[in-house]
Amino acid sequence: MDLTRRQLLWAGGAISAATLLTGCGGSDDDTAGSAPGATAKPRRGGTLRVGALGRAGAITRDPHGSQANESDYLIISLVYDTLTVPGTKPNTMPRLAARWQPSEDLKTWRFTIAKGAKFHDGSPVTADDVVFSLRRLRGTPSGASRLPGIQAENITADGDDTVVLVSDYANAELPLLLRLTTFVVPKDTADKDIAKAPGTGPFKLDWFRGGNARLVRNDDWYGGDVYLDAIEVKIFESPQAMANALLSGQIDLASNVGAVAARTAKGRGDIQTIRRPNDMAMPIVMRTADGPFADPKVREALRLAVDREAMVEQVLSGYGSVANDILGTGDPAYAKDIPQRGRDLARAKQLLKEARFDTSKTYELLTTEDIAGLAESATLFASQVREAGVKVKVVKQESATFWDKTWLKGDLYTTYWGTNDSVVFFASKTMVSESGTNEAGWQDKAFDTAYEKAIGTADAAERAGLLKEVQRIEHESSGYLLWGMADGIDLAAPAVQGLPTLPGYGRVLLERAWLAR
C-alpha cells in the first residue's frame, strides 16, 4: 500500500545510529525482528492495550478501502491476512500464501495457499476467496497502483489452493507488492457486509466502535502460536495524547508515537523505546524537467551543500540515520558501497558557478506540516544552503492545498514516504519516465533501461548487479535529495515483549507479542 496522503505518520527520534542502514534484529527465519529482551520463553495470556494514530472522521472498515488511519490498518491487519508480509531478510515473507513460483519470463506467478488456513467462521480458505478478494481490491480506484501491472481478468484460480496472477510485464518483485493490502475476505462478500466479514488472521474481531476495537486470539490460526488473549486498540488523534496515555499507564504500547514522545520518555527507566530504522524518508524534491533545478550540476550542488548529520541530529533529534540520496534504504539490495556524499561547500559553489545559477534570486521551498519534522527539515535546509550562496525561502502550505497545487508540479518541495519499500518500488513509483507520480518530472533513458532489466531478471545475483546500476544513476542525477531516514518509534511498558522492529507497515505484526507479567 502506498502511503495515503493524509496519513499522520510521525517520524522523529533520539540517539543516532548512522550505521544502521538495514533492518536490525530478527534472524533470517524470523518474520518480524523482535525488540531486545525477547530471548525469554514467551508466556501465554493477557490483554495488550495498544494506542494507534487515527482521526475519528476518517475511519474506514473496508480492508480494501481508502486507508488514512494507522488504527484502522492495525485492526484490519490483525483480523485479515495478506498473501505476503514484510520481513527482514528476505524482505517478503509468506503469510496466507505459503509459497510462490514465477514462470521463466517472470510474468506468470503461482501462489499456493497455506495449509489449514480457515476463516474465523470455520470455513476453509479456497483459491476462489483469494481471487474474489484480489479482484475486489483491483476494482477500487487504488487498485491499479496497489496491484501494478495486473488486470482483474488475469487473476484466476487453479484448483482449490492455487492462485495464478499474470502480470502485463516481467516483474521479479511481484510478491513484495502483495504485502500490504491483499487482505482476503470470503468470496461474494457484499459491500454492505464488509465490516462484518470474517478474516483469517491471528485475531478475531470482538467489537469495533468509533475507531476503537477489541480483538481476541484465534486459537485456530494456521500461522502458529498466538500468545496474547486479546488486543485492545485505542485510537488517538495526537501523538502527544498517546504518549500521555502510555506515561500514565492507560495503555501498554504507543505505536508509531514519534521522536518528541521518545525524548519525553527518555528519562524514565520504566518505559521501553523501540526504534525501527529506515521508517520514513523525507526527501527534498528538485524538479528536473524544467525550472531553476533542471541542470544536474545545480542539483549536485544542493546535495553537497546540505549538512546531513546536522539534519538528522536537529530535525529527528538524532532518531534516524544519514542517507545517500537513494530511496529504498531498507532493501537488502540497497547499495551500501556507493560512496556516501558529504558536505563540500567549495565544490557546491564551483558547480553553481559552472551552471550559471542565479544566486541573486530567492527560491521558494514548499512544505507542509503533514508529519512531524517535515517543515523543520525545510527550514534547516534553507539555512544550510545559504552558506553555499543559495537563498531559499520556506513556504508552508495547508495539506490539501499542497497536494493539489504543489505535489508533482513544484520546482522545490518536500515530500515523504513511510512505506519501507524496495529500491525497485520507489524507482517504479517515482522515477521511471512514465510513472504517474514522478515527483521531480525525471526522464532518464539509461535509468529506465536499467530498471526494466532489473525487474525482468530472475537470477538474484544478476539482479543485484543491475539494481546497483539503477541506484548509481539515481544517486548521480535524480531529482531527490535524501538527507536521512527517520526511525519509527514505539514506546512500550516494560512487560511487553516480542514487538516488531521492522520499519513502515511492519509495525502492525503483533501476532508474536506477549506480556511478561
Partner 1 sequence: MAGPLTADTTTAPVRKPGPARHVAVTVLARTGVVLLKRAVLLAVLLALVFVTVELLPGDAATATSERGESAADVERRRELLGLDRPVLERFWDWMSGLPTGDLGTSARGERVTDLLSSAFPNTLLLGGIALLLTAVLSLALGCWAALRPGGRVDRAVSGSATAVLALPEFVVAVALVLVFSLWTGWLPAVTLTDADGSPDSWTMLVLPALALTIPQAGWNTRIVRAALADEARAPHVETAVLDGLPPHRVLSHHVLPGALPTIAAGLATSTGMLLGGAVVVETIFNYPGIGSVLASAVTDRDSPVIAGVTALAGAVITVVLLLADLIRDWMAGGRR
Nearer to partner 1, 88 or 438 (CB): 438
Nearer to partner 1, 16 or 60 (CB): 60
Q: How far is the CB of 69 from partner 1 (least distance, A)?
A: 9
Give the whole-angstrom CA distance, residue 203 versus residue 216: 5
Of 159, 207, 358, 462, the residue at the interface with partner 1 (CB under 8 A) is 207
Q: How far is the CB of 466 from partner 1 (least distance, A)?
A: 23
Give the whole-angstrom CA distance, residue 451 versus residue 470: 6
Q: Which stretch binds partner 1 (CB under 8 A): 31-39, 144-152, 292-300, 382-390?
A: 144-152
Q: Does 230 bind partner 1 (CB under 8 A)?
A: no
Nearer to partner 1, 114 or 243 (CB): 243
Q: How far is the CB of 76 from partner 1 (least distance, A)?
A: 13
CB 274 within 8 A of CB 319: no
DSSP secondary structure letters along 320-345: EEE--S-S-TTSTT--TTSPPP---H
Q: Does 248 bind partner 1 (CB under 8 A)?
A: yes
Q: Does 433 bind partner 1 (CB under 8 A)?
A: no
User: Total number of residues binding partner 1 (CB under 8 A)?
Assistant: 52
By rule CB under 8 A, what string of x and - marks binding of each residue 33-72 to partner 1?
A: ----------------------xxxxxxxx--xxxx----
Q: How far is the CB of 426 from partner 1 (least distance, A)?
A: 11
What are the grid coordinates assigned to 233, written together?
Answer: 486498540
Q: How far is the CB of 165 from partner 1 (least distance, A)?
A: 18
Of 21, 215, 231, 245, the residue at the interface with partner 1 (CB under 8 A) is 245
Q: Does 238 bind partner 1 (CB under 8 A)?
A: yes
Cα-only R_g, the chain: 23
The H-or-E segment that residue 276 falls in is strand 272-281
Nearer to partner 1, 10 or 227 (CB): 10
CB 451 within 8 A of CB 358: no
Nearer to partner 1, 231 or 351 (CB): 231
Of 247, 310, 495, 516, the residue at the interface with partner 1 (CB under 8 A) is 247
List binders of partner 1 among 468-487 (CB under 8 A): none
What are the grid coordinates assigned to 44, written together?
Answer: 501465554
Nearer to partner 1, 107 or 138 (CB): 138
Q: Write phi, then psi, for 130 (nearest 5 degrees).
A: -65, -45
CB 491 within 8 A of CB 262: yes
By rule CB under 8 A, what string of x and - marks binding of each residue 380-409 to partner 1?
A: ------------------xxxx-xxx----
- Cis upstream peptide for 283 (omega within 30°): no
Nearer to partner 1, 1 or 117 (CB): 1
CA 404 remoteness from chain centre? 22
Q: How far is the CB of 281 from partner 1 (least distance, A)?
A: 13
Nearer to partner 1, 390 or 492 (CB): 492
Of 71, 142, 278, 324, the residue at the interface with partner 1 (CB under 8 A) is 142
Three-state helix/strand/coil letters over 155-210: EEECCCCEEEEEECCCCCCHHHHCCCCCCCCCCCCCHHHHHHCCCCCCEEEEEEEC
Q: Which stretch binds partner 1 (CB under 8 A): 4-12, 196-204, 472-480, 487-495?
A: 4-12
Q: Does 187 bind partner 1 (CB under 8 A)?
A: no
Q: Which stretch binds partner 1 (CB under 8 A): 202-210, 255-263, 289-297, 471-479?
A: 202-210
Name residue, grid cell 500461522: 223
Q: Which long-range contacts (CB under 8 A, 24 or more apart) does 454-462 make?
A: 454/172, 454/424, 455/106, 455/169, 455/170, 455/171, 455/172, 455/173, 455/424, 455/428, 456/106, 456/169, 456/170, 456/171, 456/172, 457/106, 457/172, 458/102, 458/104, 458/106, 458/172
Angle at 369 between CA 251 and CA 60, to 5 degrees: 55
Sign for the pseudo-dihedral over CA of 375, 351, 339, 18: negative
State which amino acid sits at residue 72. D
Q: Which residues bind partner 1 (CB under 8 A)?
A: 1-6, 55-62, 65-68, 141-142, 144-146, 207, 209-212, 214, 234, 236-238, 240-242, 244-245, 247-248, 250-251, 398-401, 403-405, 429, 436-437
